[in-house]
Amino acid sequence: MTRVALRGIRAHLVRFLLSLLAVTLGVAFVAGTLSLRTMMWSTFSGIVASSMQGDAYVRGSEPAASAAQTGSSAGDVREAIPADLARTIGTVDGVRRALPAVSGPIVLVGADGTAVVSSQAPSFGMALYPADDTLDVVAGHAPVGATEIALESATLESSGLAVGDNTSVVLAGEVQTVSVVGEVSLGAPMAGATIVFLDVATSTAAYAADGLVASIDVYGDAGVDEQTLVDRIDEALDATDATGLETVSGTAIRTEATADINDMLGFVQTFMLIFAGISLFVGAFIISNTFAMSVQQRMREFALLRAVGASPGQVFASILIQAAVVGLAGSALGIAAGLGLVSLVRLALAQIGMNLSGSIPLNVGTVLTSLLVGTLVSIAAAALPARRAALTPPVEAMREAGGARSKSLRLRAIVGSVLTVAGLAGLFAAWSRPDPDGPVLLGLGAAGVVVGVLVLAPVIARYSLSALAVVFVVAVKPLGRLARGNVIRNPRRTANTAGALMIGMALVGAASVLAASATVSTRAIVDDGWIADFSVQSAAEVVPTGVVADLRALGTVASVDELRYGPAMLAPAAGGTVAERSLIVVALPPAALGHTLDFDAVEGTLDGFAAGQLAVQRGVADDRGWKVGDDVTFTTAAGEASAPIGAIVDTAVIGAPIIMPDDAFERIVPTSQIAIDSLLITAAAAATLAEVRADLTEAAAPYVVLAVLDKDEFAGQLAGQVDQILGILYAMLALSIIIAILGIVNTLALSVIERTREIGLMRAVGMGRTQLAGIITIESILTALFGTVLGMAVGVGIASLMPAVFTEIGLTELAIPWAQLASMLGVAALVGVLAALWPAIHAARLPVLQAVSAD
Q: Give me the phi and psi of 644, to 5 degrees please.
A: -80, 155
Q: What is the pLDDT, as a whole number, of residue 72? A: 37
How far apart CA 451 and CA 799 sit, in angstroms, is 16
Closest CA to 152 of 137, 167, 164: 137
pLDDT band at 71 (very low <50, low <70, confident <90, very high): very low
Pick 353 or 156 by higher pLDDT. 156
Q: What is the pLDDT, as a whole number, of residue 725? A: 67
Q: How far is CA 53 from CA 121, 251, 259, in A?
A: 22, 9, 17
Which of 17-21, 30-34, 566-570, 849-853 is the most confident on average?
566-570
Residue 301 has pLDDT above 70, yes or no: yes
Query: What is the per-residue burial (b if ≥16 Cβ within 10 Å, else e) of 803-826?
Result: bbbbbbebbbbbbebeeebeebee
Pick 40 or 211 by higher pLDDT. 211
Identify residue 317 by its one-letter amino acid code.
A
Report the greatest alpha carbon distance in the chain: 105
Task: Give the helix ranges, DSSP H, for 107-166.
Answer: 153-159
How far does CA 730 lie from the centroid of its chain?
11
Radius of gyration of the chain (CA): 33
Secondary-structure breakdown of the chain: helix, strand, coil percentages, each rounded to the nearest 5: 60, 15, 25
Q: What is the pLDDT, as a whole number, of residue 6? A: 66
Q: What is the pLDDT, as a whole number, of residue 119? A: 55
Lowest mean pLDDT segment, chosen from 344-353, 394-403, 479-488, 733-742: 394-403
Residue 282 has pLDDT above 80, yes or no: no
How far apart CA 833 and CA 838 sit, in angstroms, is 10
Q: What is the pLDDT, as a whole number, of residue 660? A: 94
Strand, helix or coil for residue 517: helix
Bridge-partner residues for 219, per DSSP?
Answer: 97
Lowest mean pLDDT segment, chosen from 1-15, 382-396, 735-749: 1-15
CB 565 within 8 A of CB 48: no
DSSP 8-state symbol, 239: T
Residue 611 has pLDDT above 80, yes or no: yes
Closest CA to 377 of 37, 32, 19: 19
Q: What is the pLDDT, as a whole number, of residue 550? A: 92
> Per-residue pLDDT averaged across 133-145, rounded?
90
230 C-beta neighbours (distance < 10 Å), count: 22
Residue 404 has pLDDT above 60, yes or no: no
Q: What is the pLDDT, as a whole number, of residue 233? A: 93
Q: What is the pLDDT, as a whole number, of residue 853? A: 67
How far does CA 165 lie from the centroid of its chain?
39
701-731 tens-digit pLDDT: 888 888 899 888 888 777 776 676 667 667 6
Give CA angle at 281 (275, 284), nearest 5°: 145
Which of 41-50, 71-80, 492-501, 557-566 is the most confident on average?
557-566
Q: Where are the beta strands (DSSP E) in 413-505?
A: none
Residue 689 has pLDDT above 80, yes or no: yes
Q: What is the pLDDT, as a whole number, of residue 70? A: 40
Hey, what long-range contacts does 640-644 have (CB within 8 A, 24 or more apart)?
640/571, 641/667, 641/668, 643/612, 643/613, 643/614, 643/668, 644/608, 644/612, 644/613, 644/614
**What pTM value is reported for the model?**
0.70
Q: What is the pLDDT, as a whole number, of residue 356? A: 67
pLDDT band at 632 (very low <50, low <70, confident <90, very high): very high
Element containing residue 841 per DSSP (H, E)? helix 818-844
Q: What is the pLDDT, as a whole number, of residue 403? A: 42
pLDDT band at 77 (very low <50, low <70, confident <90, very high): low
Which of 10-14, 218-222, 242-246, 756-760 is the most confident on average?
218-222
804-831 tens-digit pLDDT: 888 766 777 888 989 888 988 888 888 8
Q: What is the pLDDT, as a whole number, of residue 114? A: 82
Lowest mean pLDDT segment, chosen from 269-273, 357-361, 389-393, 537-541: 357-361
Q: What is the pLDDT, as a whole number, of residue 732? A: 65
Is the sign of the CA dihedral 351, 355, 357, 363 positive or negative? negative
Closest CA to 55 of 96, 84, 91: 96
Q: Give me the phi and psi of 243, to 5 degrees please.
A: -130, 170
Closest CA to 738 of 20, 17, 16, 21: 21
Q: What DSSP assignment string belongs to 741-765?
A: HHHHHHHHHHHHHHTHHHHHHHHHT
Lowest mean pLDDT segment, chosen from 254-268, 341-355, 464-478, 633-647: 341-355
Lowest mean pLDDT segment, chosen from 164-178, 226-240, 250-264, 748-762: 748-762
Q: What is the pLDDT, as a whole number, of residue 762? A: 83
Q: What is the pLDDT, as a whole number, of residue 7? A: 67
Lowest mean pLDDT segment, chosen from 143-147, 353-357, 554-558: 353-357
Q: What is the mean pLDDT of the chain?
A: 83
Q: Residue 259 class from Cβ within 10 Å (0-12 exposed, 13-18 middle, 19+ buried)? A: exposed
Q: What is the pLDDT, as a whole number, of residue 149? A: 95
How far apart CA 793 and CA 821 sit, in angstroms, is 10
Closest CA to 751 of 2, 3, 5, 14: 14
DSSP 8-state symbol, 672: G
